[in-house]
Amino acid sequence: VDPEGSVSIIDLRHGVANLTQADVRTASFAKFNGRSIDPLIRIFGPNATVSQDLEPEYIAVSDDSRIAWVTLQENNALAIIDIANANVMSLRALGLKDHSQPGNGLDASDKDDAINIANWPVYGMYMPDAIAAFTIRGQQFLITANEGDARDYDGYAEEERVKDLELDPTAFPNADALQENEAIGRLTVTTAQGDTDGDGDFDALWAFGGRSFSIWTRQGKLVFDSGDQLEQITATVLPDDFNSTNDENDSFDNRSDNKGPEPEGVVVGVVNGRTYAFIGLERIGGIMVYDVTTPSNPQFVEYINTRDFSGDAEAGTAGDLGPEGLTFVSASDSPTGQPLLIVGYEVSGSVAIFSIEN
């Protein structure tokens, strides 16, 4: 049985020790059952209602604490919640990223022994994990880490490799070449979408995650997407370890067929009057730093990776592996007087504290 997704709002005014069930209100998605919703919101679980199918993941809250934005990762959507009334006001489809367009390339093969970031006839579902809110000149924006996630459990699995699908000959006249391992044959895509005319073959290919971060308006309209920058940067900085997985060194190209670097966490902070985003890459590791003071045109600042690719992950000598949660501490709240970034690494079981000094 798939339980209904929901968001709880807990009143802490009387202190944690005095909490009762009366302090908990639940924003339910049940009102969307039976309603017509955007077809790009993925509702596809076997025999599931809309409220059962929606899967809340991360939450960001507006400056005035009136609105919460909740990522619905597997559904590739965003929920907008009225906090005071514990009411889900709307669901917003996040849409698709066209990997055939310049600047939106991806490395789709883990079997070519090479870095090959290229354009392919594939759509990426953003499917964000973490989300954060920030304000620029009085206007609120959202930023998401577009990790991607598939459904795979007893009785249902949506993932399949492109080489194992029947591709529509009109949509993919070069299907044989595309389905080679060195092309996109190894790429994992969903079987829940893509057969647009219902004839049993695939007219479009939808891959998991955007391999990027995105900036959105508070209404969920796309302002900026980093395209293939995260893969391009890691390819330049760590060419021998490109698209490595997070629990094994000597794993070059291991994740190219499945979500790449997997941007997982994101936080935003202000340093010396500039607004910066810090994006954690779950697989290859490390933190991407971008100046997002101009939300429509973020600028790459640096890539910090405290992983030791010469070490042994199982022996605990490979440094920090698998960044998961990130917290920014402003200079005014910092015990050192300097802004701090605190990162928890789920694979290595470590915590790193970075001092931001300039």
Q: What is the pLDDT along the chain (358 residues), one digit of tens a residue?
A: 789 999 999 999 999 999 999 999 999 999 999 999 999 999 998 889 999 999 999 999 999 999 999 999 999 999 999 999 999 999 999 999 999 999 999 999 999 999 999 999 999 999 999 999 999 999 999 999 999 999 998 889 999 999 999 999 999 999 999 999 999 999 999 999 999 999 999 999 999 999 999 999 999 999 999 999 999 999 999 999 999 999 999 999 999 999 999 999 999 999 999 999 999 999 999 999 999 999 999 999 999 999 999 999 999 999 999 999 999 999 999 999 999 999 999 999 999 999 998 7
What DSSP state is assigned to residue 241? G
- Domain extents in the chain: 1-92, 93-355
State the pTM of this model.
0.97
- Which value, in Å, is the radius of gyration of the alpha carbons in the chain? 21
Q: What is the pLDDT of residue 340?
A: 99
Tokens standing for residue 116: 């090959």
Cα gap 217→19, rounded to integer Å: 35
Cα gap 347→66, rounded to integer Å: 35
What DSSP state is assigned to residue 75? T
Cα gap 77→41, rounded to integer Å: 6
Cα gap 124→76, rounded to integer Å: 10
Identify the H or E element spanning 25.
strand 24-28
Cα gap 247→315, rounded to integer Å: 11
